[in-house]
A and B are shown apart, each in its own frame.
Chain A
Amino acid sequence: MNAIIISIIGAVIILDKYAIGEFGISQPILSGTIIGALFGNIQTGIFLGAMFQLIFLAGLPIGRDIPPDGQAAGIIGCSSYFLLKTSNTAGHALLLAIIFALLGAIVGGILEIVTRRYNEKLYHIFMRRRNSLSICHLAGLLTAFLRGLFLFLCIFAIASTISVPSQFPQISRELFMVISVSIGLANTFYLFIKRSTAIYVILGGLCGLALLAF
């Protein structure tokens, strides 16, 4: 799987973020699974997808607000890890993949603003030519696809060529889990914990302990 092919696949997956359907396929847990399957290591894909999902759980696209692109981060993190791992150790690949993913989330959010500004031009074309609704509207698919392709191609080109020296810091899966679970717990508490639901947190905790015991 080379950088160009995975960029095209990533750009197709990211269309689900808002351009087509919003079925949830672009969520990191699912995109990680798909990318893992494409690289022949589905378990690692699911693990990385799950961790990125916890980090980007509370990015709520409400109204005109555009939060950092968690979906792009999931695709970048998982794909970069597999691309980097061909010429680096697992610890180096994981650290660089996390950094690429988090930076990619910020750049992805900025690119989304640029794309939506470009869509304004499509709207103005439609206002001038009223019979061009379908063309102008569906051209948004192309702008969304190109946004993803540009973002992924730049990052995956670096990921597929970079080779870090052995003295470069490495990260273990356990440490990555600590960071993502911390953010994930903060996100879930922020979203769900109220006086009325506190009892269910305790109940969930007890059920989890029972599950571990048996």
Chain B
Amino acid sequence: MRLGFARFLKILFSSFFIQTSWSFFSLQEMGFLFTLISGAKKEQKDRIIKTHKGFFNTHPYMSSYIAGATVRAYDDEKSSDEEIKKFTTIAQTSFASAGDLLFWNTLRPALLVLSVILALKSGIIGPIVFLVAYNVFHLYHRINGIREGYNRGKEVIYLLKSKRFTTVQKIFEILGAFCSGLLISVISLKVNYLLVIPLAALFMLLLLKRFSSILIIVVAVLLLLIMLIL
């Protein structure tokens, strides 16, 4: 069974809006339904809306894998509504965890540090490198996720056991660490390290003690004002 190009495009386009109506009550529920409905056949739509009531939350880029597999489950007509709902419930947490670790925790910050270094050294190249490199990975998961999800069906969840996610994550962890070192030396001529080292240690301590981000911002503003007065 193959997913037609028109249906694929509809799912892909609507998946860009998965978080549009994010709310604390249903999380991405309406966005996920919107994605499924756009790729569903006419006779499946009512059944999909009835089955997927409640809430849904996963990593936005990884939602493509789940959407592809769910559309396949409805096309196959082999699974009951309860089985499909059970699959989405399990898959959303698994893909959320993998996506958060890969994109939010590793890939995006690593590429952002790299782009900041490039921006400070070569100007416009930094933002362009980030935009291109980040979206290569982002769109790969959006596009390939639908195809893989549809081709593998509910088995798509076993993709998380493969090394493709962990290997990329490790590569970007190394890139992030490398860029941390690079940042220290590249800006060494521009800033006074007698100030940077104690301040970085203070902020590091606040982060490790898991103080709220708001408190860290307040500390930054206060430090700025103290430095100006001194």
Which residues on A are within 8 Å of B, measured CB to CB?
18-25, 27, 29-30, 32-33, 42-43, 46-47, 49-50, 53-55, 57-64, 67-68, 95, 98-99, 102, 105-106, 109, 116-117, 119-120, 122-124, 126-127, 130, 133-134, 136-141, 144, 169-171, 174-175, 177-179, 181-194, 197-198, 200-209, 211-212
Contact = CB atoms under 8 A, between A and B. Distances in A.
In this complex, which of A59, A133, A192, A205 has the most chain B Cβ atoms within 10 angstroms of its Cβ?
Answer: A192
Interface in B184-230: 184-192, 195-196, 199-204, 206-208, 213-214, 216-217, 220-221, 223-225, 227-229
B104 interface: yes
A208 B186 contact: yes
Contacts of B16: 20-21
B60 interface: yes
Contacts of B221: 98-99, 102
* Residue with the highest number of chain A CB atoms closer than 10 Å, among B126, B177, B178: B177
Contacts of A102: 217, 220-221
B18 to A, nearest CB: 9
B190 A123 contact: no
Interface SS of chain A: helix, strand, loop or mixed?
A: helix
A42 B217 contact: no
Interface string B78-116: 000000000000000000100010001110111011011
A139 B217 CA distance: 32
Given A27-B130, A122-B30, A189-B180, A60 B195 contact: no
25 contacts: A20-B20, A23-B131, A29-B112, A42-B124, A46-B126, A53-B112, A54-B116, A57-B113, A58-B207, A61-B104, A64-B24, A133-B49, A137-B34, A138-B17, A144-B20, A174-B191, A174-B192, A185-B184, A185-B204, A188-B180, A193-B180, A200-B178, A203-B178, A207-B182, A208-B181
A211 B177 contact: no
B8 interface: no
Nearest to A110: B214
B156 interface: no
Interface in B117-144: 119-120, 123-124, 126-127, 130-131, 134-135, 138
Contacts of B179: 188, 204
Given A20-B20, A95-B228, A201-B180, A186 B189 contact: no
A120 B53 CA distance: 14
Number of chain B interface residues as a range: 35 or more
Contact of B116 (A50, A116, A191, A197): A50
B26 A120 contact: yes
Contacts of A124: 25
A85 B203 CA distance: 30
Contacts of B17: 19-20, 137-138, 141
Contacts of B70: none
A182 B217 contact: no
Interface of B: 16-17, 19-27, 29-31, 33-34, 37, 49, 53, 57, 60-61, 96, 100, 104-106, 108-110, 112-113, 115-116, 119-120, 123-124, 126-127, 130-131, 134-135, 138, 173-174, 176-192, 195-196, 199-204, 206-208, 213-214, 216-217, 220-221, 223-225, 227-229
B173 A197 contact: yes
A192 B131 contact: no
B130 A55 contact: no
